[in-house]
């Protein structure tokens, strides 16, 4: 028996498309930026290839969707699912959709809109980090969230997802889940899914408009895992 197959529930992580601050690397937390025109194209391209009947994300198999309240995530959701085709379309007010701050981007507080280099210089000017450089995974953000606060809210979502999927580990009912959110918080989510602390060393790259996949080994809810690679469903 394979560790993971099409009957094992999955969790799809969707990063929103490009914004103006995504392009230049500025930390974007609470600032409510829209997608750029190219960002919309990114998500539309992902949707065309991967979302729909017999595709990677088949809405017939999706039982729950969590969406960040930020405009860029809402736009991404609509680009992915807002279709007149009932086999593809899911509206934002569908009962299976939950809009929640629990998957909003890390609140960067005083570091909102800054580049990494600017944040590190700001902290050194304040007398911080004399022996080691600032690391958001460990140090959090002044005036914003700590790693502990982000962990607590993501763990709430993981508990809800796993409670929904636990009874159906062998395909008794399709219960795939989708999270539409942000680059850093979704990487945090992956660490917590794997039961790792946020400051655990796990370098990750997550492109705007991309989809990552989580699941379980051996159909066991106590063995959360991530897909290193997944064959796409055969087209019918």
Q: SS in 3 state form for the chain? A: CCCCCCCCCCEEEEECCCCHHHHHCCCCCCCCCCCCHHHHHHHHHHHHHHECCCCCECHHHEEEEEECCCHHHHHHHHHHHCCCCCCCCCCCCCCCEEECHHHCCCCCHHHCCCCHHHHHHHHHHCCCCCCCCCCHHHHCCCCCCCHHHHHHHHHHHHHHHHHHHHHHCCCCCCCEEEEEECHHHHHHHHHHHCCCCCCCCCCCCCCCCCEEEEEEHHHCCCCEEECCCCCCCCCC
Whether 94 has a binding-site annotation, put simply, is no
31 is in an annotated binding site: no
Residue that has been written with the tokens 């379309």 in this structure: 89
Active site residue 219: no
Give the active site residue among 16, 18, 182, 219.
Answer: 16
Residues 6+ apart with CB under 8 A from 115: 24, 25, 26, 27
Using alpha carbons only, what angle is made at residue 186 by residues 183 and 187, rounded to the nearest 5 degrees? 85
Tell whether 46 is in a known binding site: no
Does 16 qualify as catalytic in the annotation? yes
The annotation status of 199 as a binding-site residue, yes or no, is no
Q: Is 107 annotated as a binding residue?
A: yes
Annotated catalytic residue, options 20, 41, 54, 105: 105
Binding-site residue ranges for substrate: 28-29, 72, 105-108
Binding-site residue ranges: 28-29, 72, 105-108
Residues with catalytic function: 16, 105
């Amino acid at each position: 028996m394979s560790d993971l197959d099409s009957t094992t529930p999955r969790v799809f992580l969707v990063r929103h498309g490009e914004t103006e601050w995504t392009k230049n690397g500025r930390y974007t937390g609470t600032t409510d930026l829209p997608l750029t025109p190219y960002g919309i194209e990114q998500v539309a391209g992902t949707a065309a290839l991967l979302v729909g009947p017999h595709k990677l994300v088949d809405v017939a198999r999706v039982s729950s969707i969590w969406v960040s309240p930020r405009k860029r995530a809402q736009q991404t959701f609509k680009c992915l699912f807002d279709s007149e085709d009932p086999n593809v379309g899911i509206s934002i007010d569908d009962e299976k959709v939950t809009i929640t701050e629990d998957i909003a981007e890390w609140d960067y507080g005083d570091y909102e809109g800054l580049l990494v280099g600017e944040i590190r210089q700001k902290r050194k000017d304040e007398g911080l980090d004399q022996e080691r450089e600032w690391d958001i995974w460990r140090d959090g953000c002044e005036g914003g969230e700590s790693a502990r606060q982000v962990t607590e809210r993501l763990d709430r979502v993981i508990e809800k997802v796993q409670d929904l999927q636990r009874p159906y580990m062998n395909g008794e009912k399709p219960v795939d889940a989708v999270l539409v959110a942000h680059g850093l918080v979704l990487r945090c989510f992956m660490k917590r899914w794997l039961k790792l602390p946020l400051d655990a060393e796990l370098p990750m790259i997550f492109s705007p408009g991309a989809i990552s996949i989580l699941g379980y080994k051996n159909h066991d809810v106590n063995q959360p895992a991530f897909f290193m690679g997944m064959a796409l469903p055969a087209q019918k």
